[in-house]
Amino acid sequence: MAHLTSFTVENFKRFEHFEMQNIGQFNLIVGDNNVGKTSVLEALLVDENSDIVQARFLKVLTEFRNLQKITEPYWHFFINRATLLTERLPTKFTLGQTEGTTIIATGPIESGYKWFVNGEHTNVLSLENTVKMKYNGVFRYDGTNSVHVPLVPFAQAYSNVLANIYSAYFQRDEGKDAELMKTLAIMIPQIKKIDVDNATSTDAVLYIGQHGQRSTMPLAMMGDGTIRLVRIAFELELHKGKRLMIDEIDAGLHFSHLRNFWRKIILGATLNDIQIFATSHNWECLEVFKEVLEEPEMLAFQDKARCFTLIDSPVTKRVEAVCSTFEQFETAIENGTELRGGAVV
């Protein structure tokens, strides 16, 4: 999948119309609370395969938002709030890429999504499939670990899902395990091995071995920053050549660790040809993003970096994304110009 150069979505969640132009490989999305930063990341979960999109959205609701039972109106509202109204407006995604544009559209959600790619009907997003059950008007989602969502949610700590992913996709494949260790070596330079233990707990436990330590340690016993880096490393490997969304990238990190964190993510994404979309509302995160890109060994990444400021505009009555190239947001930060958005005229 080629990296996005532009992205437009219509009638998705709070967005009647939202677009991003001049997208880079490393994109930091900033803005006021409740302006729609997380909704942008969720919109970017779109895929030409409708079953993948349905499973991703269901996993966001069930695993990330802890909703085990989802009524049909709630499901519709999550995708498109207009479906609860009389208009029944269709949702449309336009993915601009170097080699062309892909248009993915859905019809009104009544008997299921009608999925079109560049105007041609491909399939119907069924309300029934192998990883979802529907009964008495309520959806439940099974098969959480069988679907990998390229979205790292806000402040998600350790869970046995990480051990299950490692067992299923890396442990028994020497090639994939070696590639994972390359990415982990960027994220955690002192790492020497990773393992899964099924004997000391009712759930599989992920263990990390580091140089200078005689024994491995459960990942759950390590700091939140290390856990987050391991999770991101797994996601980078699972979505090679595609895109990865990270919500509140600086969540739970002390300011002193943020520079190293940004550097590792940029290098890990480069190794795996990943396009990054990250959100934050903190000035320090934006400032450190700039400072990392000014380091001598990181200068080559400047032309691939973007800052998108989301603005809730009373003029257009919609959320606007203002793009700043590295040179533009570097100058703005040095001049103390506010880039984090808000409601403006």
- DSSP label at residue 80: B
Q: Rounded to an integer, what distance in angstroms lies between the CA atom of residue 37 and that of residue 136?
A: 34
The whole-angstrom distance between residue 121's C-alpha and the CA centroid of its chain comes to: 27
* Amino acid present at 189: P
- DSSP label at residue 90: P
Q: Which two tokens stand for residue 108?
A: 């009104």
Indicate if 178 and 132 belong to the same structural domain.
Answer: no
What are 197's strand-pairing partners? 205
H/E run at residue 111: none
- DSSP label at residue 110: S
Q: Rounded to an integer, what distance in angstroms lies between the CA atom of residue 297 and that of residue 327?
A: 17
Query: Is residue 311 helix, strand or coil?
Result: strand
Indicate if 60 and 134 belong to the same structural domain.
Answer: yes
Indicate if 124 and 189 belong to the same structural domain.
Answer: no
* 183 is a domain residue: yes
* 10 is a domain residue: no
What are 20's strand-pairing partners? 7
- DSSP label at residue 62: I
Indicate if 289 and 230 belong to the same structural domain.
Answer: no
pLDDT at 85: 54
Counting the structural domains of the chain, the total is 3
| CA-closest candidate to residue 320, choices 345, 287, 292 | 345
| CA-closest candidate to residue 137, choices 74, 211, 221 | 74
Residue 144 Cα distances to 67, 193, 216, 272, angstroms: 13, 26, 28, 24
pLDDT at 33: 86
* 176 is a domain residue: yes
Indicate if 217 and 177 belong to the same structural domain.
Answer: yes
Q: Which domain holds residue 323?
A: 17-43+244-345
Indicate if 123 and 167 belong to the same structural domain.
Answer: no
- DSSP label at residue 248: S
- Number of C-alpha atoms within 13 angstroms, CB side, residue 104? 22
C-beta pairs of 23-26 under 8 Å, 24+ apart in sequence: 23/275, 23/306, 23/323, 24/303, 24/304, 24/305, 24/306, 24/325, 25/269, 25/270, 25/275, 25/276, 25/301, 25/304, 25/305, 26/266, 26/269, 26/275, 26/276, 26/301, 26/304, 26/305, 26/306
Indicate if 253 and 345 belong to the same structural domain.
Answer: yes
What is the maximum alpha-carbon separation in the chain?
A: 65
| CA-closest candidate to residue 77, choices 69, 88, 92 | 88
Which residue stretches of the chain have pLDDT < 50?
A: 108-112, 123-137, 141, 143-144, 343-345
Strands 205-210 and 191-197: antiparallel
Q: Rounded to an integer, what distance in angstroms lies between the CA atom of residue 122 and that of residue 144?
A: 25
Indicate if 103 and 195 belong to the same structural domain.
Answer: no
* 7 is a domain residue: no
Indicate if 301 and 319 belong to the same structural domain.
Answer: yes
pLDDT at 288: 95
* 304 is a domain residue: yes
Task: Please provide residue 93's backbone torsions phi and psi, each rounded to the nearest 5 degrees.
Answer: -115, 135
* 300 is a domain residue: yes
Using the 3D structure, point to which of 238, 259, 289 is the last residue of a domain.
238
Indicate if 32 and 67 belong to the same structural domain.
Answer: no
Query: Is residue 66 helix, strand or coil?
Result: coil
Strands 138-141 and 132-135: antiparallel
Whether 297 contacts 330, CB under 8 Å: no
pLDDT at 121: 58
Indicate if 77 and 138 belong to the same structural domain.
Answer: yes
* 2 is a domain residue: no
pLDDT at 65: 78
Using the 3D structure, point to which of 238, 255, 276 is the last residue of a domain.
238
Query: Is residue 38 helix, strand or coil?
Result: helix
Indicate if 39 and 50 belong to the same structural domain.
Answer: no
Got the DSSP string for 186-245? HHSTTEEEEEEE-SSSSS-EEEEEETT-SS-EEGGGS-HHHHHHHHHHHHHHHTTTSEEE
Using the 3D structure, point to which of 149, 169, 184 is the last residue of a domain.
149
Q: Rounded to an integer, what distance in angstroms lies between the CA atom of residue 293 and that of residue 299?
A: 6
* 262 is a domain residue: yes
